[in-house]
Amino acid sequence: MGKALIIGCGGVASVAIHKCVQNSEVFEEICIASRTKSKCDALKEKLDGGKTKITTAQVDADNVDELIALIEEVKPDIVMNLALPYQDLTIMDACLATKTNYLDTANYEPEDTAKFEYKWQWEYKERFEKAGITALLGSGFDPGVTGVFSAYALKHYFDEIETIDILDCNGGDHGYPFATNFNPEINIREVSANGRYWENGEWIETKPMEIKRVYNFDEVGEKDMYLLYHEELESLAKNIPGLKRIRFFMTFGESYLTHLKCLENVGMTSIEPIEFEGKQIIPLQFLKAVLPDPATLGPRTKGKTNIGCIFKGKKDGVEKTYYVYNVCDHEECYREVGSQAVSYTTGVPAMIGAMMMLTGKWNKPGVFNIEEFDPDPFMEALNKWGLPWKEDFSPVMVDSEPVKEKE
C-alpha cells in the first residue's frame, strides 16, 4: 500500500520499525535513515526476510538539502520523524519542498533553549495546506494516544469535557540507581523545567515538582506523581471546546528525584556551554554520554506502565467521569520487539499514525494535532497492535474538589 521513510534509529524508531514490518500489508517498503547508518543496517539485518522491503541510508536531519535529496531518491508516501525534537522544522521544510506527508512524536524544541511549544510547527499550517500535504504532530503516547483518548471521550461519552488529568505512571524498575527511560537529554530537560497547567483560560506556573499527588494505578499500585508541563496540554486546551482545566502528572521514585536534584545542584543538567580542556561542552550532553543508553534498559526492566486520561464533564446535562488507560508490561515488550515499554508505547502509535495516513483515513491538507482526527480507527488499531485500553466509568479522581471559578 505504501512506502515510509523513517528518520532516526533509536529506541522509539526501533519499535515503530518492528511494527511496520509486522504490518507489511500497509508498509510495503520502508527506508530507515539516521545519523549513524550502522544502526539502521543492524536493524535491517535483524528484520529482513519478511514481506516489507527494507533499505537504509545515512542522513543528517539538521541539513534540509540532504533531507530533500534523500526524499527525492526514496520517494516515500510519508516521512516519519523519529529523530529528536530539534529536527522537526528541518524535516518539515524538506517535506514541504518535496510535497511529502509528515509525522512526528514530539514538538519542536530549539536546541539552545529548553522551551517546547507548538507555535513553530503550527506556523507551517498554511504552507502545508497550499502544498496539499498533511502533517500529523505528536503521534506517540503522550502526546499521541492521550489526544486520541480525549477525542474519543468527547465523541462518545461527553457533550462537554470540563477537566482532563493525564496520568503517566511508570512502575518499571531497571535496577540502576539513576537512568532515564528515553533520551536522557530530552527527559531531563522536561522534568527540570517549571510545571504548568491550564485553568479557566490561563496558564498557571509551578516550580519543578511543586505539586505532588498519590494515585493507586491499576496493575501497578500506589505511586507518587508530580505535576509537569507536557506538550499536549497546549493543543488539547485549544482543541477540546469548553475545557476548564487540564493537567499532566508523571510518577517518579524518590531515588530518581534525589539523583536529579544532586545533578542539578552541581550543574550537570545545564544546557549552557562550558569550556573544558580547551573544548566547549554542554554539561547535559556530557551527562547523557555517561548515563546508561536507554536502549540497553530493555533486558533489565521489569514491571508495567499505566498511562491514561481521567475526564470529568457532562452528558445530557448529567455530570459524569471516565478514565481510559493502557497498561503495558516492560518484559512482554522486550520479548516481542527487544525494547522496554517506554519506547514501545511511543513506537506503536507512531506506526498507527502513519498507517492512518497511508490508508487514507486521516488525510487533510494542513498541520494537525492528533485529537483533530476521528479517533475511532486509531482506538481500534491500538487494541490490534499491542496497546489495548481499559475503561473505568467511576474512577477515583486525582482531586475531589471542583475547579475554582475565576474571580
Separation between Cα atoms, residue 378 and residue 152, nearest integer Å: 10
- For ligand NDP, what does the binding mask look like between residues 247 and 286, x meaning CB under 6 A? ----------------------------------------
**Shortest CB 36 distance to ligand NDP, Å:** 4
The binder of ligand NDP chosen from 28, 41, 62, 111 (CB under 6 A): 62
Tell me the number of residues near ligand NDP by CB under 6 A: 31
Maximal C-alpha separation, the chain = 68
Q: Does 191 bind ligand NDP (CB under 6 A)?
A: no
CB nearer ligand NDP, residue 84 or residue 135: 84
- Identify which of residues 144 and 313 has a Cβ nearer to ligand NDP in the complex: 144
The answer to whether 8 contacts ligand NDP (rule: CB under 6 A) is yes
Cβ closest to ligand NDP, residue 107 vs residue 321: 107
Cell representation of residue 400: 475531589
What is the phi-psi region of residue 255: left when phi exceeds 0, alpha when psi lies from -120 to 50, beta otherwise? alpha
Binding of ligand NDP by 61 (CB under 6 A): yes
Does residue 306 interact with ligand NDP by CB under 6 A?
no
In the stretch 122-151, what mask flags binding to ligand NDP with x, by CB under 6 A? Answer: ------------------xxxxx-------
Among 68, 80, 84, 131, binds ligand NDP (CB under 6 A): 84
Site string for ligand NDP, 321-360 (x = CB under 6 A): -------------------------x--------------
- In angstroms, the first-to-last Cα distance of the chain is 55
Q: Quick one: which of 170, 183, 251, 326 contacts ligand NDP (CB under 6 A)?
A: 183
Judged by CB under 6 A, which of 41, 60, 224, 392 binds ligand NDP?
A: 60
C-alpha cell at 210: 511543586
Return the residues of window 28-47 that contact ligand NDP according to CB under 6 A. Answer: 34-36, 39
| One-letter-per-residue 3-state SS of the chain | CEEEEEECCCHHHHHHHHHHHHCCCCEEEEEEEECCHHHHHHHHHHHCCCCCEEEEEECCCCCHHHHHHHHHHHCCCEEEECCCHHHHHHHHHHHHHHCCEEEECCCCCCCCCCCCCCHHHHCCHHHHHHHCCEEEECCECCCEHHHHHHHHHHHHCCCEEEEEEEEEEECCECCCCCCCCCCHHHHHHHHCCCEEEEECCEEEEECCCCCEEEEEECCCEEEEEEECCCCHHHHHHHHCCCCCEEEEEEECCHHHHHHHHHHHHCCCCCCCCEEECCEEECHHHHHHHHCCCHHHCHHHCECEEEEEEEEEEEECCEEEEEEEEEEEEHHHHHHHHCCCHHHHHHHHHHHHHHHHHHCCCCCCCEEEEHHHCCCHHHHHHHHHCCCCEEEECCCCCCCCCCCCCCC
Q: How far is the CB of 182 from ligand NDP (least distance, A)?
A: 4
- Select from 13, 153, 164, 381 the one that contacts ligand NDP (CB under 6 A): 13
94 binds ligand NDP (CB under 6 A): no
Among 11, 313, 366, 386, binds ligand NDP (CB under 6 A): 11
By beta-carbon proximity to ligand NDP, the closer residue of 132 and 388 is: 388
Residue 368 engages ligand NDP in binding (rule: CB under 6 A): no
Listed ranges 82-90, 129-137, 156-164, 219-227: which one lies at the site for ligand NDP (CB under 6 A): 82-90
Out of 23, 56, 98, 105, which residue is the one contacting ligand NDP (CB under 6 A)?
Answer: 105
Site of interaction with ligand NDP (CB under 6 A)? 8-13, 34-36, 39, 59-62, 82-85, 87, 105-106, 140-144, 182-183, 186, 294, 346
